[in-house]
Chains A and B, each alone.
Chain A
């Protein structure tokens, strides 16, 4: 492809858009590939840090950097909302009036919170006794609220899947237990975890471990609860089947969907605004010249930064092959790797993919970090990761010894 200039437009300058832009910039010269990235604002939030903000373990300004500063030289950055994509004309219309045409498009606009889709969620109790920690404003406001919260019912509610980082709400419950214990008020607060799933987590093996941790920490578990409405006056979650969960403080994970422009772009997304994508190649099934990275895809992998990171390597190889007119060589296996903060300076680690359950053992090999087991090492791993995120993952560096496929050598065998 040396003699033709290809135009790549990347929608979204978050985890996926940034690491893909940087990896592709390193791989192709400026005369081979023009790279334009679009994002609606210039605040790149380190989203795993949002979990720590409500407990005073991270300050809001520590987890935000300027998006435009995360790109290598030779990447054009446009700050504008996307108006729509015309998948037939290979053209992106920006809300600021500009138009970008592309030979290949990367959709990396993630998922957005849709609190307006749940009746009563944005009522008078919002940001008063009903909060979310899934965005910076919510996490910051919740920190202040939690500081003064010393008795009553604390309810953590996942409204429905899919959500970003499916373990984060559980981590919130574990950290709340720790936080309230440290403040000496744990006995005056009940903590209840309310989920639409039929268990604490989506994966049976990990669910068993996580459920026993909830038990140990005296956190009540309500499963198969489908929130239909938040009653602001009576302070209750009301399920579609009429069951109720009262709260004094509710921490809600709102419904998620794709970015708003997806719906304005005929043929691009599904009902929820996610883009139909091949599980293995990350090429969209909408058009061959549209690829999808991270949460914006409809693939059955966790919506998590680790998934986006592992996808990044696959994406770059496949996009390069596509531009060369070769068959797409790489296959993504659904690999996800999550540190689960469990409070009191411990964390456990889970590692899984499309086919394999998270099991015990060690990661990434027999002498690595313990899997599915609480340890201080895992907690330190989680804390250290932020630095790697800014300085390793976004610039497009690999972690030595860790490829994109899920490792198996240090793992216990199971029948699942």
Chain B
């Protein structure tokens, strides 16, 4: 997939639309991506709690967390996660946080 311009910066995405290089992400991109993937905007503090947790997990463990781990450790319950990031919290939050698709599920 060719590079894409998000919030005036060029980033590299893979075939599924996930960031190839999470260091290309900036916080300004999150609301733009959220709009595109169907996450309700404006982003709330709870959204940001999850987005920050996704990035922290990615840089510590090399992969984003699963929904279950998010529900247990991000500070937001699983039910709330599905309100914040409807359909697929782990996947949608990974898009917004500019990290690759969480690998937790092998």
Query: Of B69, B86, B103, B105, which one neighbours A241 at CB under 8 angstroms?
Result: B86
Question: What is the interface size of chain A, counting residues whose CB is below 8 A from a CB of the partner?
Answer: 20
If A202-B106, A240-B79, A300-B106 touch, whether A160 touches B68 (CB-CB below 8 Å) is yes
Inter-chain contact count A-B, CB under 8 Å?
Answer: 50
Q: A162, A198, A226, A301: which has the most chain B beta carbons within 10 Å?
A: A226
Asked if B91 lies at the interface with its beta carbon under 8 angstroms from chain A, I say: yes
Query: Of B79, B81, B87, B103, which one neighbours A224 at CB under 8 angstroms?
Result: B87
If A198-B91, A240-B78, A271-B73 touch, whether A160 touches B103 (CB-CB below 8 Å) is no
A226 touches B67 (CB 8 A): yes
Could you tell me the dominant secondary structure of chain A's interface residues? loop
If A196-B67, A255-B68 touch, whether A162 touches B82 (CB-CB below 8 Å) is no
Range of interface residues on B (Cβ < 8 Å)? 10 to 19
Query: Which B residues are CB-close (under 8 A) to A160?
Result: 66-68
B104 touches A161 (CB 8 A): yes
For residue B49, give the distance in angstroms from its CB to the closest CB of chain A: 16
Q: Could you tell me the distance between the alpha carbons of A300 and B105 in the complex, rounded to whole angstroms?
A: 8
Query: Which A residues are CB-close (under 8 A) to B91?
Result: 198
Q: Could you tell me the distance between the alpha carbons of A24 and B30 in the complex, rounded to whole angstroms?
A: 51
Q: Could you tell me the distance between the alpha carbons of A321 and B69 in the complex, rounded to whole angstroms?
A: 34
Q: Could you tell me the distance between the alpha carbons of A226 and B63 in the complex, rounded to whole angstroms?
A: 20
Chain B residue nearest in CB terms to A256: B68
A-B contact pairs, 20 of them (CB 8 A): A160-B68, A161-B105, A162-B66, A162-B104, A162-B106, A166-B106, A198-B91, A224-B88, A226-B67, A228-B79, A240-B82, A241-B86, A241-B87, A255-B68, A270-B69, A271-B72, A272-B72, A300-B104, A300-B106, A301-B106
Given contacts A162-B104, A226-B67, A272-B68, 11 further A-B contacts (CB under 8 A): A160-B68, A161-B68, A161-B104, A161-B106, A202-B105, A202-B106, A224-B87, A228-B78, A240-B79, A240-B81, A300-B103
